[in-house]
Structure 1
Amino acid sequence: MERVDLEVGYGETLALVGESGAGKSTTLLEVMALAAPRHGRIEVLGRDVSALSRAEARRMRAVVQYVPQDPMSSLDPRLPVGDIVAEPLLVQRWPADRVAARVAEVLGLVGLRPRDASAYPHRFSGGQRQRIALARALAVEPELLLLDEPVSALDVSVRAGILDLLRRLREDPGPACLFVSHDLGAVRHIADRVAVLHSGRVVETGGVREVFERPGHPYTRALLAAVPVPDPAAVAVPTESSVPRGGPLAVGEGAAGCRFRTCCPAFTRLEGGQRVRCEREVPGVPDISVGRGRWIACHFPAGLVERR
Protein backbone atom coordinates (compact mmCIF):
# COMPACT_ATOMS: atom_id res chain seq x y z
CA MET A 1 0.00 0.00 0.00
CA GLU A 2 1.22 3.50 -0.83
CA ARG A 3 -0.28 6.94 -1.35
CA VAL A 4 -3.53 5.98 0.38
CA ASP A 5 -4.76 9.29 1.77
CA LEU A 6 -8.22 8.97 3.36
CA GLU A 7 -10.24 10.97 5.85
CA VAL A 8 -13.68 9.97 7.13
CA GLY A 9 -15.76 12.40 9.18
CA TYR A 10 -18.21 11.42 11.94
CA GLY A 11 -21.61 10.51 10.46
CA GLU A 12 -20.10 10.23 6.98
CA THR A 13 -19.79 7.18 4.73
CA LEU A 14 -16.72 6.97 2.51
CA ALA A 15 -16.75 4.20 -0.09
CA LEU A 16 -13.49 2.62 -1.21
CA VAL A 17 -13.81 1.10 -4.70
CA GLY A 18 -11.51 -0.62 -7.18
CA GLU A 19 -10.73 -3.99 -8.73
CA SER A 20 -9.86 -7.11 -6.76
CA GLY A 21 -6.31 -6.81 -5.49
CA ALA A 22 -6.34 -3.02 -5.46
CA GLY A 23 -5.80 -2.98 -1.69
CA LYS A 24 -9.29 -2.18 -0.39
CA SER A 25 -9.55 -4.92 2.26
CA THR A 26 -5.88 -4.43 3.17
CA THR A 27 -6.66 -0.79 3.94
CA LEU A 28 -9.47 -1.82 6.31
CA LEU A 29 -7.24 -4.35 8.08
CA GLU A 30 -4.47 -1.76 8.51
CA VAL A 31 -6.95 0.53 10.26
CA MET A 32 -8.45 -2.32 12.29
CA ALA A 33 -5.02 -3.42 13.55
CA LEU A 34 -4.60 -0.16 15.52
CA ALA A 35 -0.85 -0.60 15.16
CA ALA A 36 1.91 1.40 13.53
CA PRO A 37 1.84 0.85 9.74
CA ARG A 38 5.06 0.06 7.91
CA HIS A 39 4.76 3.38 6.13
CA GLY A 40 2.78 6.54 6.77
CA ARG A 41 0.44 7.37 9.60
CA ILE A 42 -3.00 6.22 10.78
CA GLU A 43 -5.10 8.40 13.06
CA VAL A 44 -8.34 7.30 14.72
CA LEU A 45 -10.34 9.95 16.57
CA GLY A 46 -7.38 12.27 16.22
CA ARG A 47 -4.96 9.82 17.88
CA ASP A 48 -1.90 8.41 16.14
CA VAL A 49 -2.39 4.66 16.59
CA SER A 50 1.37 4.04 16.72
CA ALA A 51 1.50 6.02 19.99
CA LEU A 52 -1.28 4.09 21.76
CA SER A 53 -0.43 2.10 24.86
CA ARG A 54 -1.83 -1.44 25.17
CA ALA A 55 -4.60 -0.21 27.47
CA GLU A 56 -5.44 2.68 25.14
CA ALA A 57 -5.54 0.34 22.14
CA ARG A 58 -7.92 -1.95 24.03
CA ARG A 59 -10.26 0.96 24.75
CA MET A 60 -9.95 2.15 21.16
CA ARG A 61 -11.17 -1.23 19.87
CA ALA A 62 -14.57 -0.43 21.33
CA VAL A 63 -14.98 2.49 18.95
CA VAL A 64 -13.61 0.76 15.82
CA GLN A 65 -15.73 -2.16 14.66
CA TYR A 66 -15.39 -4.41 11.60
CA VAL A 67 -18.11 -6.19 9.58
CA PRO A 68 -16.67 -8.90 7.29
CA GLN A 69 -17.85 -9.98 3.87
CA ASP A 70 -18.86 -13.45 5.11
CA PRO A 71 -20.75 -12.99 8.39
CA MET A 72 -20.91 -16.71 9.17
CA SER A 73 -17.11 -16.87 9.37
CA SER A 74 -17.21 -14.40 12.28
CA LEU A 75 -20.21 -15.83 14.18
CA ASP A 76 -19.46 -18.55 16.75
CA PRO A 77 -21.89 -21.39 15.87
CA ARG A 78 -21.81 -22.61 19.50
CA LEU A 79 -23.32 -19.40 20.86
CA PRO A 80 -26.88 -18.08 20.59
CA VAL A 81 -27.30 -14.74 18.86
CA GLY A 82 -27.83 -12.87 22.12
CA ASP A 83 -24.46 -14.03 23.44
CA ILE A 84 -22.76 -13.19 20.13
CA VAL A 85 -24.08 -9.62 20.22
CA ALA A 86 -23.25 -9.31 23.93
CA GLU A 87 -19.65 -10.51 23.53
CA PRO A 88 -18.03 -7.13 22.69
CA LEU A 89 -20.00 -5.49 25.50
CA LEU A 90 -18.67 -8.01 28.00
CA VAL A 91 -15.13 -7.52 26.70
CA GLN A 92 -15.56 -3.81 27.35
CA ARG A 93 -16.90 -4.64 30.84
CA TRP A 94 -20.37 -3.20 30.51
CA PRO A 95 -22.62 -3.84 33.57
CA ALA A 96 -24.77 -6.95 33.16
CA ASP A 97 -28.08 -5.07 33.32
CA ARG A 98 -26.96 -2.66 30.56
CA VAL A 99 -25.74 -5.56 28.42
CA ALA A 100 -29.18 -7.22 28.34
CA ALA A 101 -30.93 -3.95 27.51
CA ARG A 102 -28.41 -3.05 24.79
CA VAL A 103 -28.65 -6.47 23.12
CA ALA A 104 -32.44 -6.14 22.87
CA GLU A 105 -32.11 -2.57 21.59
CA VAL A 106 -29.55 -3.32 18.89
CA LEU A 107 -31.38 -6.42 17.64
CA GLY A 108 -34.42 -4.25 17.08
CA LEU A 109 -32.27 -1.62 15.37
CA VAL A 110 -31.17 -4.09 12.68
CA GLY A 111 -34.64 -5.54 12.18
CA LEU A 112 -34.42 -8.73 14.26
CA ARG A 113 -36.94 -9.89 16.88
CA PRO A 114 -36.25 -10.22 20.63
CA ARG A 115 -36.80 -13.99 20.46
CA ASP A 116 -34.00 -14.26 17.87
CA ALA A 117 -31.55 -13.78 20.76
CA SER A 118 -32.01 -17.40 21.84
CA ALA A 119 -31.53 -18.93 18.36
CA TYR A 120 -28.21 -20.07 16.85
CA PRO A 121 -26.60 -18.64 13.69
CA HIS A 122 -27.29 -21.69 11.49
CA ARG A 123 -31.03 -21.03 11.86
CA PHE A 124 -30.78 -17.74 9.96
CA SER A 125 -30.55 -16.77 6.29
CA GLY A 126 -27.53 -15.00 4.83
CA GLY A 127 -29.19 -11.60 5.09
CA GLN A 128 -30.19 -12.22 8.70
CA ARG A 129 -26.65 -13.29 9.55
CA GLN A 130 -25.38 -10.04 8.09
CA ARG A 131 -27.83 -8.21 10.37
CA ILE A 132 -26.47 -10.17 13.34
CA ALA A 133 -22.91 -9.16 12.40
CA LEU A 134 -24.04 -5.53 12.15
CA ALA A 135 -25.81 -5.77 15.52
CA ARG A 136 -22.64 -7.05 17.18
CA ALA A 137 -20.57 -4.26 15.60
CA LEU A 138 -23.09 -1.58 16.59
CA ALA A 139 -23.60 -2.87 20.14
CA VAL A 140 -20.67 -0.95 21.61
CA GLU A 141 -21.77 2.28 19.89
CA PRO A 142 -18.70 2.56 17.65
CA GLU A 143 -17.48 5.82 16.20
CA LEU A 144 -15.86 4.14 13.17
CA LEU A 145 -17.47 1.23 11.31
CA LEU A 146 -15.41 -0.73 8.77
CA LEU A 147 -17.55 -2.59 6.23
CA ASP A 148 -15.86 -5.09 3.91
CA GLU A 149 -18.19 -5.97 1.00
CA PRO A 150 -21.15 -6.43 3.39
CA VAL A 151 -23.70 -7.19 0.63
CA SER A 152 -21.64 -8.94 -2.07
CA ALA A 153 -22.72 -12.48 -1.10
CA LEU A 154 -26.44 -11.65 -0.86
CA ASP A 155 -29.14 -11.90 -3.50
CA VAL A 156 -30.71 -8.75 -4.92
CA SER A 157 -33.75 -8.46 -2.63
CA VAL A 158 -31.77 -9.18 0.55
CA ARG A 159 -29.00 -6.79 -0.56
CA ALA A 160 -31.55 -4.00 -0.91
CA GLY A 161 -32.72 -4.54 2.67
CA ILE A 162 -29.19 -4.39 4.09
CA LEU A 163 -28.38 -1.26 2.06
CA ASP A 164 -31.53 0.44 3.33
CA LEU A 165 -30.50 -0.48 6.87
CA LEU A 166 -27.03 1.02 6.36
CA ARG A 167 -28.55 4.16 4.89
CA ARG A 168 -30.87 4.57 7.91
CA LEU A 169 -27.92 4.15 10.27
CA ARG A 170 -26.26 7.02 8.42
CA GLU A 171 -29.21 9.31 9.02
CA ASP A 172 -29.21 8.75 12.82
CA PRO A 173 -26.45 10.21 12.60
CA GLY A 174 -24.45 7.06 12.99
CA PRO A 175 -20.75 6.34 13.14
CA ALA A 176 -18.23 7.22 10.47
CA CYS A 177 -18.21 4.40 7.92
CA LEU A 178 -15.45 3.18 5.62
CA PHE A 179 -17.30 1.00 3.12
CA VAL A 180 -15.49 -1.32 0.70
CA SER A 181 -17.51 -2.46 -2.30
CA HIS A 182 -17.29 -3.69 -5.89
CA ASP A 183 -20.94 -2.73 -6.34
CA LEU A 184 -21.02 0.84 -7.65
CA GLY A 185 -24.81 0.85 -7.40
CA ALA A 186 -24.52 0.17 -3.67
CA VAL A 187 -21.93 2.93 -3.37
CA ARG A 188 -24.24 5.41 -5.09
CA HIS A 189 -27.05 4.38 -2.73
CA ILE A 190 -25.38 4.82 0.66
CA ALA A 191 -22.06 6.69 0.38
CA ASP A 192 -21.40 10.42 0.76
CA ARG A 193 -17.96 10.33 -0.83
CA VAL A 194 -15.94 7.82 -2.82
CA ALA A 195 -12.21 7.07 -3.11
CA VAL A 196 -11.02 5.07 -6.12
CA LEU A 197 -8.11 2.73 -5.36
CA HIS A 198 -5.80 1.31 -8.03
CA SER A 199 -2.74 -0.84 -7.33
CA GLY A 200 -2.43 0.40 -3.76
CA ARG A 201 -2.88 4.08 -4.63
CA VAL A 202 -5.91 6.35 -4.35
CA VAL A 203 -6.29 7.87 -7.82
CA GLU A 204 -9.47 9.93 -7.40
CA THR A 205 -11.75 11.06 -4.61
CA GLY A 206 -14.74 13.32 -4.18
CA GLY A 207 -18.48 13.37 -3.66
CA VAL A 208 -20.23 10.30 -5.09
CA ARG A 209 -22.34 12.24 -7.56
CA GLU A 210 -19.53 14.40 -8.93
CA VAL A 211 -17.10 11.48 -9.30
CA PHE A 212 -19.70 9.25 -10.96
CA GLU A 213 -20.95 11.98 -13.29
CA ARG A 214 -17.62 13.67 -14.05
CA PRO A 215 -14.86 11.08 -13.57
CA GLY A 216 -11.46 12.57 -14.25
CA HIS A 217 -9.04 9.65 -13.89
CA PRO A 218 -9.02 7.18 -16.81
CA TYR A 219 -9.20 4.27 -14.35
CA THR A 220 -12.38 5.69 -12.78
CA ARG A 221 -13.84 6.11 -16.26
CA ALA A 222 -13.00 2.49 -17.06
CA LEU A 223 -14.68 1.24 -13.85
CA LEU A 224 -17.85 3.19 -14.59
CA ALA A 225 -17.88 2.17 -18.25
CA ALA A 226 -17.79 -1.50 -17.19
CA VAL A 227 -21.05 -1.22 -15.22
CA PRO A 228 -23.91 -2.75 -17.27
CA VAL A 229 -26.81 -0.35 -17.86
CA PRO A 230 -30.23 -0.85 -19.49
CA ASP A 231 -29.73 2.01 -21.95
CA PRO A 232 -26.05 2.73 -22.75
CA ALA A 233 -27.05 5.72 -24.91
CA ALA A 234 -28.45 7.45 -21.83
CA VAL A 235 -25.21 7.19 -19.86
CA ALA A 236 -23.37 10.49 -19.47
CA VAL A 237 -19.98 8.88 -18.79
CA PRO A 238 -18.10 8.43 -22.08
CA THR A 239 -16.51 5.07 -22.74
CA GLU A 240 -13.01 4.64 -24.10
CA SER A 241 -13.03 3.36 -27.68
CA SER A 242 -9.62 1.73 -27.52
CA VAL A 243 -7.87 0.19 -24.55
CA PRO A 244 -4.26 -0.90 -25.14
CA ARG A 245 -3.23 -4.45 -24.41
CA GLY A 246 -1.43 -5.34 -21.21
CA GLY A 247 -2.20 -4.79 -17.57
CA PRO A 248 -1.20 -2.20 -14.99
CA LEU A 249 2.25 -2.24 -13.50
CA ALA A 250 2.56 -4.32 -10.34
CA VAL A 251 3.40 -2.73 -7.01
CA GLY A 252 7.10 -1.90 -7.04
CA GLU A 253 7.34 -1.75 -10.83
CA GLY A 254 7.69 1.58 -12.57
CA ALA A 255 7.59 3.42 -9.26
CA ALA A 256 8.96 6.51 -10.99
CA GLY A 257 5.79 7.02 -13.01
CA CYS A 258 2.07 6.40 -13.26
CA ARG A 259 1.31 2.74 -12.56
CA PHE A 260 -1.80 2.80 -14.76
CA ARG A 261 -0.05 4.04 -17.90
CA THR A 262 0.46 0.60 -19.48
CA CYS A 263 -3.31 0.14 -19.83
CA CYS A 264 -4.38 3.79 -20.02
CA PRO A 265 -6.26 4.74 -23.21
CA ALA A 266 -5.30 8.40 -22.74
CA PHE A 267 -1.58 7.54 -22.57
CA THR A 268 -1.58 6.22 -26.16
CA ARG A 269 -2.83 9.58 -27.43
CA LEU A 270 -0.24 11.71 -25.64
CA GLU A 271 2.68 13.37 -27.38
CA GLY A 272 6.31 12.55 -26.58
CA GLY A 273 6.92 15.07 -23.80
CA GLN A 274 3.62 14.29 -22.15
CA ARG A 275 4.36 10.55 -22.26
CA VAL A 276 7.71 11.13 -20.60
CA ARG A 277 5.95 12.90 -17.75
CA CYS A 278 3.65 9.91 -17.18
CA GLU A 279 6.65 7.56 -17.33
CA ARG A 280 8.83 9.50 -14.91
CA GLU A 281 6.57 11.40 -12.50
CA VAL A 282 4.26 9.71 -9.99
CA PRO A 283 0.99 11.70 -10.02
CA GLY A 284 0.85 13.74 -6.87
CA VAL A 285 -1.78 13.83 -4.12
CA PRO A 286 -3.52 15.94 -5.14
CA ASP A 287 -2.19 16.45 -8.65
CA ILE A 288 -5.36 18.16 -9.82
CA SER A 289 -7.63 19.69 -7.20
CA VAL A 290 -11.20 20.46 -8.26
CA GLY A 291 -12.85 22.13 -5.30
CA ARG A 292 -12.92 21.18 -1.66
CA GLY A 293 -12.40 17.46 -1.06
CA ARG A 294 -12.11 16.57 -4.76
CA TRP A 295 -8.81 15.58 -6.33
CA ILE A 296 -7.49 13.42 -9.14
CA ALA A 297 -4.00 11.86 -9.13
CA CYS A 298 -3.48 12.10 -12.89
CA HIS A 299 -1.27 14.38 -14.98
CA PHE A 300 -3.88 14.64 -17.75
CA PRO A 301 -7.35 14.11 -16.24
CA ALA A 302 -10.28 13.96 -18.60
CA GLY A 303 -12.11 17.24 -19.16
CA LEU A 304 -9.83 19.24 -16.84
CA VAL A 305 -7.01 21.65 -17.49
CA GLU A 306 -3.56 20.28 -16.71
CA ARG A 307 -1.88 21.78 -13.67
CA ARG A 308 1.84 22.26 -14.21
Structure 2
Amino acid sequence: MTGSAPLSTPFDAASTAAEVAAGLDLTGRRAVVTGASSGIGIETARALAAAGAEVTLAVRDTEAGQRVAKEITGTHPGARLRVAPLDLSDLASVASFGAGWEGPLHLLVNNAGVMATPELRTPQGWELQFATNHLGHFALTTALHPALAAAGGARVAAVSSVAHLDAPVDFDDLHFQRRPYDPAVAYGQSKTAVVLFAVEAARRWADDGITVNALHPGAILTNLTRHYDSAELAAAIATRGYTFKTPEQGAATSVLVAASPLLDGVTGRYFEDCAEARRHTPGIRNGVADHALDPAAASRLWQVGLDLLG
Protein backbone atom coordinates (compact mmCIF):
# COMPACT_ATOMS: atom_id res chain seq x y z
CA MET A 1 0.00 0.00 0.00
CA THR A 2 1.42 3.33 -1.04
CA GLY A 3 1.15 6.69 0.64
CA SER A 4 -1.70 7.68 -1.68
CA ALA A 5 -5.36 7.24 -0.78
CA PRO A 6 -6.47 3.60 -0.73
CA LEU A 7 -8.05 2.40 -3.95
CA SER A 8 -11.85 2.44 -3.90
CA THR A 9 -14.39 0.84 -6.23
CA PRO A 10 -18.15 1.24 -6.86
CA PHE A 11 -18.68 -1.88 -4.73
CA ASP A 12 -18.87 -2.21 -0.95
CA ALA A 13 -19.44 -4.62 1.93
CA ALA A 14 -22.95 -5.47 0.74
CA SER A 15 -21.97 -6.23 -2.86
CA THR A 16 -22.17 -9.82 -4.08
CA ALA A 17 -19.79 -11.80 -6.24
CA ALA A 18 -22.36 -11.81 -9.04
CA GLU A 19 -22.61 -8.02 -8.90
CA VAL A 20 -18.83 -7.63 -9.09
CA ALA A 21 -18.67 -10.08 -12.01
CA ALA A 22 -21.61 -8.55 -13.91
CA GLY A 23 -20.49 -7.45 -17.35
CA LEU A 24 -17.14 -9.23 -17.18
CA ASP A 25 -16.21 -11.43 -20.12
CA LEU A 26 -13.72 -14.04 -18.94
CA THR A 27 -14.06 -16.20 -22.05
CA GLY A 28 -10.72 -17.86 -22.76
CA ARG A 29 -9.49 -17.35 -19.20
CA ARG A 30 -8.62 -20.31 -17.01
CA ALA A 31 -9.07 -20.12 -13.25
CA VAL A 32 -8.30 -22.28 -10.22
CA VAL A 33 -10.23 -21.83 -6.97
CA THR A 34 -8.93 -23.83 -4.01
CA GLY A 35 -11.49 -24.97 -1.46
CA ALA A 36 -14.27 -24.53 -3.97
CA SER A 37 -16.57 -27.20 -2.53
CA SER A 38 -17.94 -25.08 0.33
CA GLY A 39 -18.58 -21.56 1.59
CA ILE A 40 -17.26 -18.60 -0.34
CA GLY A 41 -15.23 -20.91 -2.59
CA ILE A 42 -18.46 -22.10 -4.23
CA GLU A 43 -19.65 -18.55 -4.84
CA THR A 44 -16.26 -17.44 -6.16
CA ALA A 45 -16.22 -20.34 -8.62
CA ARG A 46 -19.83 -19.68 -9.60
CA ALA A 47 -19.23 -16.01 -10.40
CA LEU A 48 -16.07 -16.67 -12.41
CA ALA A 49 -17.72 -19.50 -14.36
CA ALA A 50 -20.82 -17.40 -15.03
CA ALA A 51 -18.54 -14.75 -16.55
CA GLY A 52 -17.13 -17.32 -18.97
CA ALA A 53 -13.95 -18.56 -17.28
CA GLU A 54 -12.99 -22.23 -17.31
CA VAL A 55 -12.84 -22.92 -13.56
CA THR A 56 -11.02 -25.78 -11.87
CA LEU A 57 -12.44 -26.61 -8.45
CA ALA A 58 -9.35 -27.71 -6.49
CA VAL A 59 -10.77 -29.62 -3.54
CA ARG A 60 -9.97 -32.27 -0.95
CA ASP A 61 -13.29 -34.03 -1.44
CA THR A 62 -13.78 -34.54 -5.17
CA GLU A 63 -17.27 -36.01 -4.70
CA ALA A 64 -18.33 -32.75 -3.01
CA GLY A 65 -16.60 -30.87 -5.82
CA GLN A 66 -18.57 -32.79 -8.42
CA ARG A 67 -21.81 -31.97 -6.61
CA VAL A 68 -20.91 -28.27 -6.64
CA ALA A 69 -19.99 -28.41 -10.34
CA LYS A 70 -23.32 -30.06 -11.14
CA GLU A 71 -25.19 -27.45 -9.10
CA ILE A 72 -23.41 -24.54 -10.84
CA THR A 73 -24.00 -25.95 -14.31
CA GLY A 74 -27.65 -26.40 -13.36
CA THR A 75 -28.03 -22.64 -13.03
CA HIS A 76 -25.38 -21.71 -15.64
CA PRO A 77 -25.66 -24.36 -18.37
CA GLY A 78 -22.71 -23.01 -20.32
CA ALA A 79 -20.33 -23.08 -17.34
CA ARG A 80 -17.02 -24.84 -17.95
CA LEU A 81 -15.93 -26.57 -14.75
CA ARG A 82 -13.31 -29.13 -13.83
CA VAL A 83 -12.80 -30.86 -10.49
CA ALA A 84 -9.31 -31.82 -9.35
CA PRO A 85 -8.02 -33.26 -6.05
CA LEU A 86 -5.93 -30.97 -3.85
CA ASP A 87 -5.05 -31.31 -0.16
CA LEU A 88 -2.97 -28.31 0.83
CA SER A 89 -1.68 -30.02 3.99
CA ASP A 90 -0.19 -32.83 1.87
CA LEU A 91 2.84 -31.71 -0.15
CA ALA A 92 2.57 -34.74 -2.44
CA SER A 93 -0.98 -33.70 -3.33
CA VAL A 94 0.16 -30.13 -4.01
CA ALA A 95 3.05 -31.33 -6.16
CA SER A 96 0.76 -33.62 -8.12
CA PHE A 97 -1.67 -30.80 -8.84
CA GLY A 98 1.13 -28.50 -9.98
CA ALA A 99 2.75 -31.16 -12.17
CA GLY A 100 -0.59 -32.03 -13.74
CA TRP A 101 -1.44 -28.51 -14.81
CA GLU A 102 -0.99 -27.88 -18.53
CA GLY A 103 -1.11 -24.58 -20.34
CA PRO A 104 -1.54 -21.03 -19.04
CA LEU A 105 -3.35 -20.08 -15.84
CA HIS A 106 -4.93 -16.65 -15.75
CA LEU A 107 -6.63 -16.51 -12.33
CA LEU A 108 -5.64 -18.29 -9.12
CA VAL A 109 -7.80 -17.85 -6.03
CA ASN A 110 -6.08 -19.24 -2.94
CA ASN A 111 -9.30 -19.60 -1.00
CA ALA A 112 -9.08 -22.86 0.99
CA GLY A 113 -8.24 -22.75 4.67
CA VAL A 114 -8.72 -24.09 8.15
CA MET A 115 -9.46 -22.04 11.27
CA ALA A 116 -9.05 -22.47 15.03
CA THR A 117 -8.14 -26.13 14.84
CA PRO A 118 -6.97 -28.07 17.89
CA GLU A 119 -3.21 -28.57 17.99
CA LEU A 120 -2.55 -30.70 14.92
CA ARG A 121 0.59 -31.24 12.88
CA THR A 122 1.48 -32.44 9.42
CA PRO A 123 3.85 -35.40 8.98
CA GLN A 124 6.68 -32.82 8.78
CA GLY A 125 5.77 -31.55 12.26
CA TRP A 126 4.37 -28.28 10.94
CA GLU A 127 1.45 -26.63 12.76
CA LEU A 128 -1.60 -27.42 10.64
CA GLN A 129 -3.05 -23.92 10.18
CA PHE A 130 0.29 -22.44 9.08
CA ALA A 131 0.94 -25.49 6.89
CA THR A 132 -2.46 -25.37 5.18
CA ASN A 133 -3.27 -21.68 4.96
CA HIS A 134 0.22 -20.49 4.04
CA LEU A 135 2.73 -23.21 3.17
CA GLY A 136 0.35 -25.27 1.06
CA HIS A 137 -0.67 -22.24 -0.97
CA PHE A 138 2.96 -21.09 -1.17
CA ALA A 139 3.94 -24.47 -2.61
CA LEU A 140 0.97 -24.46 -4.99
CA THR A 141 1.44 -20.92 -6.27
CA THR A 142 5.18 -21.27 -6.82
CA ALA A 143 4.57 -24.58 -8.63
CA LEU A 144 2.05 -22.83 -10.88
CA HIS A 145 4.29 -19.80 -11.45
CA PRO A 146 5.30 -20.88 -14.98
CA ALA A 147 1.63 -21.26 -15.94
CA LEU A 148 0.79 -17.86 -14.44
CA ALA A 149 3.72 -16.23 -16.23
CA ALA A 150 2.66 -17.84 -19.51
CA ALA A 151 -0.83 -16.35 -19.25
CA GLY A 152 0.24 -12.72 -19.52
CA GLY A 153 -1.43 -10.49 -16.95
CA ALA A 154 -2.28 -13.32 -14.56
CA ARG A 155 -3.76 -12.60 -11.16
CA VAL A 156 -3.45 -14.28 -7.78
CA ALA A 157 -6.03 -13.56 -5.07
CA ALA A 158 -4.83 -14.71 -1.64
CA VAL A 159 -7.63 -15.01 0.90
CA SER A 160 -6.44 -13.79 4.29
CA SER A 161 -8.55 -12.60 7.23
CA VAL A 162 -9.06 -9.72 9.62
CA ALA A 163 -7.63 -12.21 12.14
CA HIS A 164 -4.18 -11.33 10.77
CA LEU A 165 -4.43 -8.36 13.15
CA ASP A 166 -4.09 -10.79 16.07
CA ALA A 167 -0.60 -12.10 15.39
CA PRO A 168 2.50 -11.34 13.38
CA VAL A 169 4.60 -14.25 12.12
CA ASP A 170 6.74 -15.55 14.98
CA PHE A 171 9.85 -16.56 13.05
CA ASP A 172 11.42 -17.98 16.21
CA ASP A 173 8.57 -20.41 16.83
CA LEU A 174 6.46 -20.85 13.70
CA HIS A 175 5.07 -24.20 14.77
CA PHE A 176 4.40 -23.65 18.49
CA GLN A 177 7.19 -25.93 19.63
CA ARG A 178 8.16 -23.64 22.53
CA ARG A 179 5.15 -21.42 23.24
CA PRO A 180 1.79 -22.81 24.35
CA TYR A 181 -0.47 -23.57 21.42
CA ASP A 182 -3.27 -21.06 20.94
CA PRO A 183 -5.61 -21.82 18.02
CA ALA A 184 -6.56 -18.16 17.51
CA VAL A 185 -2.94 -16.98 17.52
CA ALA A 186 -1.99 -19.80 15.15
CA TYR A 187 -4.79 -18.80 12.80
CA GLY A 188 -3.82 -15.13 12.96
CA GLN A 189 -0.18 -15.94 12.24
CA SER A 190 -1.17 -18.06 9.24
CA LYS A 191 -3.29 -15.26 7.81
CA THR A 192 -0.53 -12.68 8.33
CA ALA A 193 1.67 -15.06 6.36
CA VAL A 194 -0.85 -14.99 3.51
CA VAL A 195 -0.57 -11.19 3.25
CA LEU A 196 3.23 -11.28 3.47
CA PHE A 197 3.24 -13.85 0.67
CA ALA A 198 1.26 -11.45 -1.53
CA VAL A 199 3.67 -8.61 -0.76
CA GLU A 200 6.75 -10.62 -1.72
CA ALA A 201 5.20 -12.42 -4.70
CA ALA A 202 4.10 -9.05 -6.07
CA ARG A 203 7.68 -7.82 -5.86
CA ARG A 204 9.27 -10.94 -7.31
CA TRP A 205 6.82 -11.51 -10.12
CA ALA A 206 6.09 -7.98 -11.35
CA ASP A 207 8.26 -8.51 -14.43
CA ASP A 208 6.19 -11.59 -15.29
CA GLY A 209 3.05 -9.48 -15.45
CA ILE A 210 1.56 -11.33 -12.46
CA THR A 211 -0.35 -9.31 -9.87
CA VAL A 212 -0.81 -10.72 -6.37
CA ASN A 213 -3.13 -9.21 -3.78
CA ALA A 214 -4.47 -10.38 -0.42
CA LEU A 215 -7.96 -9.89 0.91
CA HIS A 216 -10.30 -10.28 3.87
CA PRO A 217 -13.65 -11.66 2.68
CA GLY A 218 -15.58 -10.53 5.75
CA ALA A 219 -17.18 -12.50 8.56
CA ILE A 220 -19.25 -15.35 7.13
CA LEU A 221 -20.75 -18.30 9.00
CA THR A 222 -19.51 -21.24 6.93
CA ASN A 223 -17.94 -24.65 7.51
CA LEU A 224 -14.75 -22.77 8.43
CA THR A 225 -16.12 -22.22 11.94
CA ARG A 226 -16.64 -25.96 12.59
CA HIS A 227 -13.89 -26.13 15.23
CA TYR A 228 -15.74 -23.69 17.50
CA ASP A 229 -18.38 -25.04 19.83
CA SER A 230 -21.56 -22.96 20.07
CA ALA A 231 -20.48 -21.15 23.25
CA GLU A 232 -17.06 -20.25 21.81
CA LEU A 233 -18.64 -18.99 18.60
CA ALA A 234 -21.18 -16.88 20.49
CA ALA A 235 -18.40 -15.39 22.64
CA ALA A 236 -16.29 -14.59 19.59
CA ILE A 237 -19.23 -12.90 17.90
CA ALA A 238 -20.05 -10.86 21.02
CA THR A 239 -16.42 -9.82 21.55
CA ARG A 240 -15.72 -8.84 17.96
CA GLY A 241 -19.08 -7.28 17.14
CA TYR A 242 -19.10 -8.79 13.68
CA THR A 243 -21.64 -7.94 11.01
CA PHE A 244 -22.03 -11.13 9.04
CA LYS A 245 -22.09 -11.41 5.26
CA THR A 246 -23.75 -14.03 3.13
CA PRO A 247 -21.38 -16.36 1.21
CA GLU A 248 -22.34 -14.45 -1.96
CA GLN A 249 -21.19 -11.19 -0.32
CA GLY A 250 -18.14 -12.89 1.16
CA ALA A 251 -16.95 -13.95 -2.29
CA ALA A 252 -17.26 -10.45 -3.76
CA THR A 253 -13.81 -9.20 -2.77
CA SER A 254 -12.21 -12.42 -4.05
CA VAL A 255 -13.85 -11.93 -7.44
CA LEU A 256 -12.88 -8.26 -7.49
CA VAL A 257 -9.22 -9.06 -6.80
CA ALA A 258 -9.16 -12.02 -9.19
CA ALA A 259 -10.93 -10.58 -12.18
CA SER A 260 -12.11 -6.97 -12.11
CA PRO A 261 -10.50 -4.57 -14.61
CA LEU A 262 -10.73 -1.95 -11.86
CA LEU A 263 -7.61 -3.58 -10.38
CA ASP A 264 -5.56 -3.91 -13.55
CA GLY A 265 -1.90 -3.49 -12.64
CA VAL A 266 -2.61 -3.24 -8.89
CA THR A 267 -0.40 -5.57 -6.85
CA GLY A 268 0.96 -6.25 -3.39
CA ARG A 269 -2.04 -4.79 -1.55
CA TYR A 270 -4.73 -5.91 0.89
CA PHE A 271 -8.45 -5.49 0.23
CA GLU A 272 -11.63 -5.71 2.33
CA ASP A 273 -15.25 -4.86 1.52
CA CYS A 274 -14.34 -4.49 -2.16
CA ALA A 275 -11.80 -1.71 -1.56
CA GLU A 276 -8.17 -1.40 -0.57
CA ALA A 277 -7.95 -1.44 3.21
CA ARG A 278 -6.63 1.44 5.25
CA ARG A 279 -3.87 0.91 7.78
CA HIS A 280 -5.21 -0.62 10.96
CA THR A 281 -6.18 1.71 13.78
CA PRO A 282 -5.92 0.07 17.24
CA GLY A 283 -9.32 -0.65 18.75
CA ILE A 284 -11.06 -0.95 15.38
CA ARG A 285 -11.58 -4.40 13.88
CA ASN A 286 -10.60 -3.66 10.29
CA GLY A 287 -7.72 -2.42 8.18
CA VAL A 288 -4.34 -3.97 7.49
CA ALA A 289 -1.63 -4.30 10.11
CA ASP A 290 1.83 -2.89 9.51
CA HIS A 291 3.30 -6.28 10.41
CA ALA A 292 1.49 -7.82 7.43
CA LEU A 293 2.95 -5.37 4.91
CA ASP A 294 6.54 -5.36 6.21
CA PRO A 295 8.76 -6.04 3.17
CA ALA A 296 11.60 -7.41 5.30
CA ALA A 297 9.27 -9.93 6.96
CA ALA A 298 7.80 -10.81 3.56
CA SER A 299 11.23 -11.53 2.12
CA ARG A 300 12.23 -13.55 5.19
CA LEU A 301 9.03 -15.60 5.06
CA TRP A 302 9.58 -16.43 1.40
CA GLN A 303 13.02 -17.83 2.21
CA VAL A 304 11.57 -19.77 5.16
CA GLY A 305 9.07 -21.31 2.78
CA LEU A 306 11.77 -22.33 0.33
CA ASP A 307 13.82 -23.84 3.15
CA LEU A 308 10.90 -25.77 4.62
CA LEU A 309 9.81 -27.10 1.25
CA GLY A 310 13.34 -28.10 0.39
> With structure 1 as the length reference, what TM-score do the two structures score?
0.32
Larger radius of gyration: 1
> With structure 2 as the length reference, what TM-score do the two structures score?
0.31
